[in-house]
Amino acid sequence: MDYQLLEVENGKPIKMWTQDVPVEDEAREQLINTARMPFIYRHLAVMPDVHLGKGSTIGSVIPTQGAIIPAAVGVDIGCGMMAACTTLLASDLPDNLHALRTAIERAVPHGRTVGRGRRDEGSWDTPPETVDAMWAGLLEGFTRITDRHPCLKNTNNRKHLGTLGTGNHFIEVCLDEADRVWFMLHSGSRGVGNAIGNHFIGLAQKDMQQHIAKLPNRDLAYFAEGSQHFDDYVEAVGWAQDFARRNRLLMMQNVIAAARGVIAQPFSASVEAVNCHHNYVQRETHFGAEVLVTRKGAVSAQKGELGIIPGSMGARSFIVRGLGNEESFCSCSHGAGRTMSRNEARRRFTVADQERATAHVECRKDADVIDEIPMAYKDIDAVMHAQRELVEVVHTLHQVVCVKG
């Protein structure tokens, strides 16, 4: 077997593609709790980037029948990756990449400003026409959802479309093994997706109020199929996933336009890797049965399907092709996976450590990004080796520019 098997008393087994990759005890306990839910189908599949998450473990694939766990999907609904290969070569890039980084930072709102009366720097003040055109395709579905759940109406929605966010979200300029230039980015459904996730997690806990004490964890509260909130959640989460996909598409368009303003060499760009989610749920058929597959920090890796597995901001990333491994429910990891919390990274490392770890990358090197230091993540090479039966590497990318929120 290319996976480790963890049998669970009073639950379904757990299959873990974690050879030579550390797994924290708290994450194992969280996986066991999830595996004991009565509607898990066959087994859980665990990816090598697995680590503790809210409700359910990040880096896990959770197949269910007859129920859905909103906290397993999480609040960054539809978070994922997009990559575009260009006709540029490394030699076409300017010697000093600072101007390219600042052009991208001007073109895509990023970060977050908190404070009464202050505009959030991570949102649009007045969204451009391209954003309004994209929002028009989302408005009908949003209106239908907010008619039933009015609290979701006054959220960061239209003004967050085409924006990056904070945390581990990023935009990168990368070089592949042939020195071709790629643009790559990572983001999701922003403020509105967060609001949808939290709202339905709360509804699930409220609906199960009489039974919630019997759950291994209150964040495993679920909606039973056939209930009103189940149908509402499926519709809302599908809409948020569409928002996330369009969000990445808009950002990529703006990144390419910004680069054209800095790079003298004319170029074209095509999306070579799919615009892929790694925090989402969808109906799929596995082992002859229709199931709801929740991928929390995992990517679909159907046979022949392209995906993106990023490393940390100082390591390599990979464009991969799925091998269609059914035991993993045709999935792979969504990245390297953290080895420590953000607070622990801030305690352990300094700005000088960040500067050394990212010396080869044009990026921010200040106290506000220490939580994203490469040493806070697992070894991406070990992660890739552990999932060698899930995907094959098509391209290896090394970042030269990184924009963080």
User: What is the model's pLDDT at position 4?
Assistant: 96
User: Is 255 in contact with 104 (CB distance < 8 Å)?
Assistant: yes
Q: What number of other Cβ atoms are within 10 A of residue 195's Cβ? A: 23
- 334, 360, 385, 398: which is the annotated catalytic residue? 334
For residue 372, is it within any domain? Answer: no
On whether 191 is known to bind a ligand per the annotation, the reply is no
Please choose, from the candidates 361, 335, 306, 334, the residue with its C-alpha nearest in 3D space to the C-alpha of residue 173: 361
Q: Is residue 367 part of a domain?
A: no
Which of 294, 81, 111 has the alpha carbon at shortest distance from 188?
A: 81
How many folded domains does the chain comprise? 1
Q: What is the reported pLDDT for 313?
A: 86
This prediction's pTM: 0.95
User: Is 98 known as a binding-site position?
Assistant: no
In this prediction, residue 315 carries a pLDDT of: 87
Are residues 106 and 78 in contact, defined by beta-carbon separation less than 8 angstroms? no
The string of DSSP letters for 137-190 reads: HHHHHHHHHHHH-GGGSSSS-GGGTT---STT-EEEEEE-TT-EEEEEEEE-SH
Q: Is residue 353 part of a domain?
A: no
According to the annotation, is 331 in a ligand binding site? no
**334 classed as catalytic:** yes
- Known binding residue 335? Answer is yes
Domain of residue 282, residue span: 4-339+377-404
CATH code where residue 161 lies:
3.90.1860.10
Residue 393 lies in a domain: yes
Close Cβ partners of 139 (under 8 Å, ≥ 6 residues apart): none
Check whether 170 is labelled as a binding-site residue: yes
- Which helix H or strand E contains 70, and what residues bound it? helix 70-73
Residue 314 lies inside a defined structural domain of this protein: yes
Domain assignment present for 297: yes
Dihedral sign for Cα atoms in the order 149, 152, 157, 160: negative
Looking at residue 309, what DSSP letter applies?
Answer: E
Question: What tokens does 206 get?
Answer: 């409220």
pLDDT of residue 292: 98
Query: Is 317 annotated as belonging to a binding site?
Result: yes
**What's the average pLDDT block by block, 10 residues per block, for the chain (405 residues)?**
94 97 95 96 98 91 98 95 96 96 97 79 95 98 98 96 95 97 97 97 94 89 95 98 97 97 94 83 97 97 96 91 98 95 95 95 94 94 97 97 92
Please check whether residue 150 lies inside any domain of the structure.
yes
For the chain, the C-alpha Rg in angstroms (whole number) is 21
Question: Is residue 349 situated within a structural domain?
Answer: no
Burial of residue 95 (number of CB atoms within 10 Å: 0-12, 13-18, 19+): exposed
